Amino acid sequence: DVVKNSQVSEPKVDNLVYKDDDLAGQAKATILSLVRNEDQKEIISAIRQMEDHFNKNFNYPYTFLNDDEFTEEFKEAIKEVVPTDRILQFGRIESEIWDRPSSIDDEKYQQCIEKLDQEEVQYVKKESYHNMCRFYSKNFYKHPLLQDYKYTWRLEPGINFYCDINYDVFQFMELNNKIYGFVLNLYDSPESIRSLWTTTMEFINSNPEYLNSNGAFEWLKDNGQKPNNFNITGGYSTCHFWTNFEITNLEFLRSEPYEKFMDFLDEKGGFYYERWGDAPVRSIALALFADKRRIHWFRDIGYNHAPYTNCPKCPPDSNRCNGNCKPGHFTPWKELNIENCQPVWIKYIMNEEERNLY
Protein backbone atom coordinates (compact mmCIF):
# COMPACT_ATOMS: atom_id res chain seq x y z
CA ASP A 1 0.00 0.00 0.00
CA VAL A 2 1.85 3.01 -1.35
CA VAL A 3 0.03 5.59 0.71
CA LYS A 4 0.53 3.84 4.00
CA ASN A 5 4.13 3.12 3.22
CA SER A 6 4.91 6.74 2.54
CA GLN A 7 3.29 8.57 5.45
CA VAL A 8 5.15 11.69 6.40
CA SER A 9 7.12 11.36 9.59
CA GLU A 10 6.23 14.65 11.12
CA PRO A 11 3.08 15.90 12.77
CA LYS A 12 1.47 16.36 9.38
CA VAL A 13 -1.44 14.06 9.84
CA ASP A 14 -4.64 16.07 9.77
CA ASN A 15 -6.43 17.35 6.73
CA LEU A 16 -4.26 15.62 4.17
CA VAL A 17 -5.75 15.23 0.71
CA TYR A 18 -4.59 12.19 -1.25
CA LYS A 19 -4.80 11.52 -4.94
CA ASP A 20 -8.23 9.95 -5.18
CA ASP A 21 -9.93 12.33 -2.77
CA ASP A 22 -12.52 14.76 -4.08
CA LEU A 23 -10.36 17.75 -3.25
CA ALA A 24 -7.22 16.40 -4.92
CA GLY A 25 -5.88 18.83 -7.49
CA GLN A 26 -8.73 21.26 -6.85
CA ALA A 27 -6.89 24.14 -5.19
CA LYS A 28 -6.61 27.37 -7.16
CA ALA A 29 -2.95 26.79 -7.70
CA THR A 30 -0.23 26.65 -10.32
CA ILE A 31 3.38 25.62 -10.45
CA LEU A 32 5.27 28.73 -11.52
CA SER A 33 8.52 29.02 -13.33
CA LEU A 34 10.37 32.11 -14.45
CA VAL A 35 12.78 30.84 -17.08
CA ARG A 36 14.75 31.66 -20.20
CA ASN A 37 14.66 29.62 -23.39
CA GLU A 38 18.23 28.56 -22.73
CA ASP A 39 17.18 26.97 -19.42
CA GLN A 40 15.19 24.35 -21.33
CA LYS A 41 17.19 21.31 -20.32
CA GLU A 42 17.37 22.27 -16.64
CA ILE A 43 13.69 23.18 -16.33
CA ILE A 44 12.67 19.94 -18.00
CA SER A 45 14.70 18.02 -15.49
CA ALA A 46 12.92 19.91 -12.70
CA ILE A 47 9.48 19.27 -14.23
CA ARG A 48 10.17 15.56 -14.63
CA GLN A 49 10.95 15.32 -10.94
CA MET A 50 7.97 17.47 -9.98
CA GLU A 51 5.70 15.17 -12.00
CA ASP A 52 7.26 12.00 -10.77
CA HIS A 53 7.25 12.87 -7.09
CA PHE A 54 4.07 14.95 -6.87
CA ASN A 55 2.12 16.27 -9.78
CA LYS A 56 1.30 13.07 -11.67
CA ASN A 57 -1.21 12.53 -8.86
CA PHE A 58 -2.62 16.04 -8.70
CA ASN A 59 -2.50 17.53 -12.22
CA TYR A 60 -1.77 21.11 -11.28
CA PRO A 61 -1.15 23.47 -14.20
CA TYR A 62 2.21 25.02 -14.98
CA THR A 63 2.79 28.69 -15.70
CA PHE A 64 6.00 29.75 -17.42
CA LEU A 65 7.02 33.38 -17.49
CA ASN A 66 9.81 35.03 -19.42
CA ASP A 67 10.98 38.55 -20.20
CA ASP A 68 11.53 37.31 -23.74
CA GLU A 69 9.24 35.36 -26.08
CA PHE A 70 9.31 31.61 -25.50
CA THR A 71 10.42 29.75 -28.61
CA GLU A 72 8.28 27.05 -30.21
CA GLU A 73 11.07 24.63 -29.47
CA PHE A 74 10.90 25.45 -25.76
CA LYS A 75 7.13 25.07 -25.61
CA GLU A 76 7.16 21.82 -27.56
CA ALA A 77 9.86 20.38 -25.36
CA ILE A 78 7.82 21.14 -22.23
CA LYS A 79 4.68 19.60 -23.74
CA GLU A 80 6.57 16.41 -24.36
CA VAL A 81 7.38 15.76 -20.71
CA VAL A 82 3.90 16.20 -19.25
CA PRO A 83 0.65 14.30 -19.89
CA THR A 84 -1.40 15.78 -22.73
CA ASP A 85 -4.19 16.95 -20.43
CA ARG A 86 -1.87 19.08 -18.29
CA ILE A 87 -2.66 22.80 -18.54
CA LEU A 88 0.37 24.82 -19.61
CA GLN A 89 0.50 28.61 -19.74
CA PHE A 90 3.36 30.51 -21.37
CA GLY A 91 3.55 34.22 -20.72
CA ARG A 92 5.66 37.21 -21.58
CA ILE A 93 6.59 39.84 -19.03
CA GLU A 94 6.16 43.37 -20.36
CA SER A 95 9.42 45.30 -20.52
CA GLU A 96 7.82 48.13 -18.49
CA ILE A 97 7.44 45.62 -15.69
CA TRP A 98 10.74 43.79 -16.08
CA ASP A 99 13.31 46.43 -16.96
CA ARG A 100 15.14 48.81 -14.69
CA PRO A 101 12.74 51.73 -14.15
CA SER A 102 13.65 55.19 -15.40
CA SER A 103 13.48 56.47 -11.82
CA ILE A 104 16.84 54.78 -11.21
CA ASP A 105 19.68 57.23 -11.79
CA ASP A 106 21.99 55.64 -14.32
CA GLU A 107 25.23 57.15 -13.09
CA LYS A 108 24.50 56.37 -9.47
CA TYR A 109 23.58 52.81 -10.43
CA GLN A 110 26.87 52.30 -12.27
CA GLN A 111 28.87 53.64 -9.33
CA CYS A 112 27.01 51.56 -6.80
CA ILE A 113 27.43 48.28 -8.64
CA GLU A 114 31.13 48.95 -9.20
CA LYS A 115 31.61 49.34 -5.49
CA LEU A 116 29.53 46.29 -4.58
CA ASP A 117 31.38 44.29 -7.20
CA GLN A 118 34.63 45.08 -5.42
CA GLU A 119 33.02 43.71 -2.28
CA GLU A 120 32.27 40.57 -4.25
CA VAL A 121 28.51 40.74 -4.01
CA GLN A 122 27.32 37.91 -6.24
CA TYR A 123 25.57 38.81 -9.52
CA VAL A 124 25.73 42.53 -8.79
CA LYS A 125 26.92 43.39 -12.29
CA LYS A 126 24.16 41.37 -13.91
CA GLU A 127 21.35 43.80 -14.52
CA SER A 128 18.96 40.96 -15.34
CA TYR A 129 19.52 39.60 -11.83
CA HIS A 130 18.41 42.90 -10.30
CA ASN A 131 15.38 42.83 -12.59
CA MET A 132 14.60 39.27 -11.52
CA CYS A 133 14.80 40.10 -7.80
CA ARG A 134 12.53 43.11 -8.21
CA PHE A 135 10.10 41.12 -10.36
CA TYR A 136 9.85 38.29 -7.84
CA SER A 137 9.44 40.78 -5.00
CA LYS A 138 6.78 43.12 -6.27
CA ASN A 139 5.42 42.08 -9.63
CA PHE A 140 5.18 38.40 -10.43
CA TYR A 141 1.81 37.88 -8.75
CA LYS A 142 0.28 40.70 -10.78
CA HIS A 143 0.94 38.93 -14.06
CA PRO A 144 -2.33 38.43 -15.99
CA LEU A 145 -1.76 34.66 -16.15
CA LEU A 146 -1.75 34.49 -12.34
CA GLN A 147 -4.88 36.52 -11.69
CA ASP A 148 -7.15 33.56 -11.07
CA TYR A 149 -4.74 31.72 -8.81
CA LYS A 150 -4.45 31.78 -5.08
CA TYR A 151 -1.26 29.71 -4.70
CA THR A 152 1.98 29.34 -6.61
CA TRP A 153 4.75 26.81 -6.12
CA ARG A 154 7.95 28.22 -7.50
CA LEU A 155 10.03 25.87 -9.58
CA GLU A 156 13.55 26.72 -10.74
CA PRO A 157 15.65 25.09 -13.43
CA GLY A 158 18.18 22.53 -12.25
CA ILE A 159 16.65 21.71 -8.88
CA ASN A 160 16.08 18.18 -7.56
CA PHE A 161 13.28 16.55 -5.62
CA TYR A 162 14.21 13.34 -3.90
CA CYS A 163 11.13 12.03 -2.14
CA ASP A 164 7.52 11.31 -3.00
CA ILE A 165 5.05 13.91 -1.84
CA ASN A 166 1.87 11.89 -1.72
CA TYR A 167 -0.54 14.52 -0.40
CA ASP A 168 -1.86 17.63 -2.11
CA VAL A 169 0.50 20.32 -0.88
CA PHE A 170 -1.76 23.16 -2.03
CA GLN A 171 -4.75 21.71 -0.21
CA PHE A 172 -2.53 21.35 2.84
CA MET A 173 -1.92 25.10 2.63
CA GLU A 174 -5.62 25.78 2.11
CA LEU A 175 -7.00 23.49 4.80
CA ASN A 176 -4.46 24.61 7.38
CA ASN A 177 -4.73 28.29 6.59
CA LYS A 178 -1.06 28.65 5.63
CA ILE A 179 0.25 31.58 3.70
CA TYR A 180 3.81 30.50 3.03
CA GLY A 181 5.79 27.27 2.73
CA PHE A 182 9.58 26.95 2.66
CA VAL A 183 12.27 24.31 2.98
CA LEU A 184 15.56 26.08 3.74
CA ASN A 185 16.75 29.12 5.72
CA LEU A 186 20.02 30.82 4.90
CA TYR A 187 22.03 33.88 5.85
CA ASP A 188 22.57 36.35 3.01
CA SER A 189 25.48 38.48 1.98
CA PRO A 190 24.94 41.57 4.16
CA GLU A 191 26.62 43.86 1.63
CA SER A 192 23.81 43.13 -0.83
CA ILE A 193 21.18 44.56 1.53
CA ARG A 194 23.06 47.25 3.41
CA SER A 195 20.10 49.60 3.77
CA LEU A 196 17.19 47.14 3.53
CA TRP A 197 16.66 46.85 7.27
CA THR A 198 16.94 50.55 8.05
CA THR A 199 14.59 51.26 5.14
CA THR A 200 12.20 48.70 6.56
CA MET A 201 12.32 50.35 9.98
CA GLU A 202 11.53 53.67 8.36
CA PHE A 203 8.49 52.07 6.76
CA ILE A 204 7.38 50.48 10.01
CA ASN A 205 7.74 53.74 11.89
CA SER A 206 5.25 55.35 9.53
CA ASN A 207 2.99 52.27 9.40
CA PRO A 208 3.17 50.56 12.79
CA GLU A 209 -0.35 49.18 12.36
CA TYR A 210 0.94 46.75 9.71
CA LEU A 211 3.02 44.82 12.23
CA ASN A 212 1.52 41.47 13.16
CA SER A 213 1.73 40.94 16.90
CA ASN A 214 2.46 37.28 16.17
CA GLY A 215 5.28 37.98 13.74
CA ALA A 216 8.47 35.92 13.51
CA PHE A 217 10.54 38.82 14.83
CA GLU A 218 13.16 36.80 16.71
CA TRP A 219 13.94 34.91 13.54
CA LEU A 220 15.09 38.14 11.87
CA LYS A 221 17.11 39.22 14.84
CA ASP A 222 19.19 36.24 15.98
CA ASN A 223 22.67 36.98 14.82
CA GLY A 224 24.05 33.60 15.85
CA GLN A 225 27.17 32.92 13.92
CA LYS A 226 27.40 36.17 12.06
CA PRO A 227 27.94 39.00 14.53
CA ASN A 228 29.27 41.26 11.83
CA ASN A 229 26.00 41.24 9.93
CA PHE A 230 24.35 43.62 12.37
CA ASN A 231 27.10 46.16 11.82
CA ILE A 232 26.52 46.08 8.11
CA THR A 233 22.72 45.89 7.99
CA GLY A 234 21.93 47.92 11.08
CA GLY A 235 20.03 45.15 12.86
CA TYR A 236 18.98 42.34 10.53
CA SER A 237 20.76 39.00 10.75
CA THR A 238 20.09 38.38 7.02
CA CYS A 239 18.40 35.06 7.79
CA HIS A 240 15.81 34.41 5.09
CA PHE A 241 13.62 31.82 3.42
CA TRP A 242 15.51 30.50 0.41
CA THR A 243 12.91 31.54 -2.13
CA ASN A 244 13.99 29.36 -5.06
CA PHE A 245 11.53 27.00 -3.36
CA GLU A 246 8.43 28.76 -2.12
CA ILE A 247 4.76 27.96 -1.93
CA THR A 248 2.95 31.21 -1.61
CA ASN A 249 -0.59 32.25 -0.85
CA LEU A 250 -0.84 35.20 -3.21
CA GLU A 251 -3.52 36.84 -1.09
CA PHE A 252 -0.78 37.78 1.33
CA LEU A 253 1.21 39.46 -1.45
CA ARG A 254 -1.96 41.17 -2.66
CA SER A 255 -2.59 42.65 0.78
CA GLU A 256 -2.12 46.30 1.70
CA PRO A 257 0.89 45.91 4.02
CA TYR A 258 2.84 43.87 1.48
CA GLU A 259 2.05 46.10 -1.47
CA LYS A 260 2.67 49.35 0.37
CA PHE A 261 5.96 47.93 1.60
CA MET A 262 6.97 46.96 -1.95
CA ASP A 263 6.15 50.42 -3.29
CA PHE A 264 8.20 51.96 -0.50
CA LEU A 265 11.19 49.70 -1.16
CA ASP A 266 10.98 50.26 -4.90
CA GLU A 267 11.01 54.03 -4.48
CA LYS A 268 14.20 53.76 -2.43
CA GLY A 269 15.94 52.12 -5.37
CA GLY A 270 17.71 49.37 -3.43
CA PHE A 271 16.89 46.70 -5.99
CA TYR A 272 19.46 48.50 -8.18
CA TYR A 273 21.67 50.71 -5.99
CA GLU A 274 22.23 47.66 -3.85
CA ARG A 275 21.25 44.12 -4.81
CA TRP A 276 18.27 43.47 -2.60
CA GLY A 277 17.22 39.89 -3.16
CA ASP A 278 13.61 38.80 -3.34
CA ALA A 279 14.46 36.32 -0.57
CA PRO A 280 15.32 38.81 2.20
CA VAL A 281 12.57 41.14 0.99
CA ARG A 282 9.88 38.44 1.08
CA SER A 283 11.21 37.07 4.36
CA ILE A 284 11.15 40.41 6.13
CA ALA A 285 7.61 41.08 4.90
CA LEU A 286 6.43 37.68 6.10
CA ALA A 287 8.14 37.92 9.46
CA LEU A 288 6.68 41.36 10.14
CA PHE A 289 3.19 41.24 8.62
CA ALA A 290 2.19 37.58 8.90
CA ASP A 291 1.27 35.39 11.83
CA LYS A 292 4.24 33.05 12.21
CA ARG A 293 1.90 30.10 12.73
CA ARG A 294 0.79 30.52 9.14
CA ILE A 295 4.30 29.96 7.79
CA HIS A 296 5.12 26.31 7.26
CA TRP A 297 8.43 24.53 7.10
CA PHE A 298 8.04 21.65 4.61
CA ARG A 299 10.69 19.58 6.27
CA ASP A 300 9.22 16.54 4.55
CA ILE A 301 10.09 17.73 1.05
CA GLY A 302 13.47 16.43 -0.10
CA TYR A 303 14.83 19.30 -2.15
CA ASN A 304 18.10 20.45 -3.61
CA HIS A 305 19.09 23.68 -5.28
CA ALA A 306 22.85 23.93 -5.54
CA PRO A 307 24.58 24.02 -3.16
CA TYR A 308 22.08 23.14 -0.40
CA THR A 309 19.76 20.24 0.31
CA ASN A 310 16.88 19.53 2.63
CA CYS A 311 16.55 15.82 3.43
CA PRO A 312 13.59 14.61 5.44
CA LYS A 313 13.57 11.90 8.01
CA CYS A 314 11.69 8.92 6.65
CA PRO A 315 10.03 6.15 8.59
CA PRO A 316 12.35 3.11 8.70
CA ASP A 317 10.19 1.01 6.37
CA SER A 318 9.44 3.79 3.96
CA ASN A 319 10.29 3.84 0.26
CA ARG A 320 9.38 7.50 0.13
CA CYS A 321 12.84 8.70 -0.81
CA ASN A 322 14.15 5.47 -2.31
CA GLY A 323 17.58 6.13 -0.94
CA ASN A 324 17.96 9.24 -3.09
CA CYS A 325 18.00 11.61 -0.17
CA LYS A 326 19.48 9.88 2.81
CA PRO A 327 16.71 9.40 5.37
CA GLY A 328 17.57 11.06 8.64
CA HIS A 329 20.21 13.24 7.03
CA PHE A 330 18.98 16.66 8.01
CA THR A 331 21.22 18.68 5.81
CA PRO A 332 21.76 21.15 7.35
CA TRP A 333 19.01 21.35 9.97
CA LYS A 334 20.82 21.13 13.24
CA GLU A 335 24.03 22.88 12.73
CA LEU A 336 23.98 26.64 13.00
CA ASN A 337 26.83 27.88 10.86
CA ILE A 338 27.69 30.87 8.74
CA GLU A 339 25.31 29.81 6.02
CA ASN A 340 22.54 27.85 7.68
CA CYS A 341 20.07 29.59 9.97
CA GLN A 342 17.37 26.93 9.95
CA PRO A 343 18.15 26.29 13.64
CA VAL A 344 17.02 29.83 14.39
CA TRP A 345 13.56 29.02 13.04
CA ILE A 346 13.51 25.80 15.00
CA LYS A 347 14.56 27.56 18.19
CA TYR A 348 12.16 30.48 18.17
CA ILE A 349 9.23 29.57 16.03
CA MET A 350 8.52 25.90 16.52
CA ASN A 351 6.85 24.65 19.63
CA GLU A 352 8.38 22.26 22.12
CA GLU A 353 6.69 19.21 20.68
CA GLU A 354 7.78 19.92 17.12
CA ARG A 355 11.28 20.80 18.20
CA ASN A 356 11.77 17.51 19.96
CA LEU A 357 11.07 15.50 16.87
CA TYR A 358 14.70 15.40 15.86
Chain contacts with ligand GDP (rule: CB under 6 A): 34-36, 39, 66-67, 128, 132, 156-157, 244
One-letter amino acid for residue 358 of the chain = Y
Q: Closer to ligand GDP by CB, 70 or 345: give it.
A: 70
The residue nearest ligand GDP at its CB is 128
Per the annotation, the verdict on 246 as an active-site residue is: yes
329 binds, among ligand GDP, Mn ion, none (CB under 5 to 8 A by kind): none
CB of 182 to Mn ion, least distance (A): 15
132 binds, among ligand GDP, Mn ion, none (CB under 5 to 8 A by kind): ligand GDP
47 binds, among ligand GDP, Mn ion, none (CB under 5 to 8 A by kind): none
Q: Does 33 bind Mn ion (CB under 5 A)?
A: no
Total Cβ atoms within 10 A of residue 82: 20
Q: Closer to Mn ion by CB, 13 or 306: give it.
A: 306
321 binds, among Mn ion, ligand GDP, none (CB under 5 to 8 A by kind): none
Q: Closer to ligand GDP by CB, 250 or 288: give it.
A: 250
Compose the 127-166 pattern: x for residues touching Mn ion by CB under 5 A, - for all others: -----------------------------x----------
347 binds, among ligand GDP, Mn ion, none (CB under 5 to 8 A by kind): none
* CA-CA-CA-CA torsion sign (148, 80, 154, 104): negative
CB of 244 to Mn ion, least distance (A): 5
Compose the 236-265 pattern: x for residues touching Mn ion by CB under 5 A, - for all others: --------x---------------------
Rounded to whole angstroms, the Cα distance separating 163 from 165 reads 6
Q: Closer to Mn ion by CB, 127 or 156: give it.
A: 156
CB of 122 to ligand GDP, least distance (A): 8
283 binds, among Mn ion, ligand GDP, none (CB under 5 to 8 A by kind): none
One-letter amino acid for residue 228 of the chain = N
Show Cβ contacts of residue 143 under 8 Å, excluding neighbours closer than 6 positions.
65, 91, 93
Q: Closer to ligand GDP by CB, 8 or 43: give it.
A: 43
- Catalytic-labelled residue, pool 51, 191, 246, 274: 246
For the annotated catalytic residues, the residue numbers are: 246
Binding site for Mn ion (CB under 5 A): 156, 244
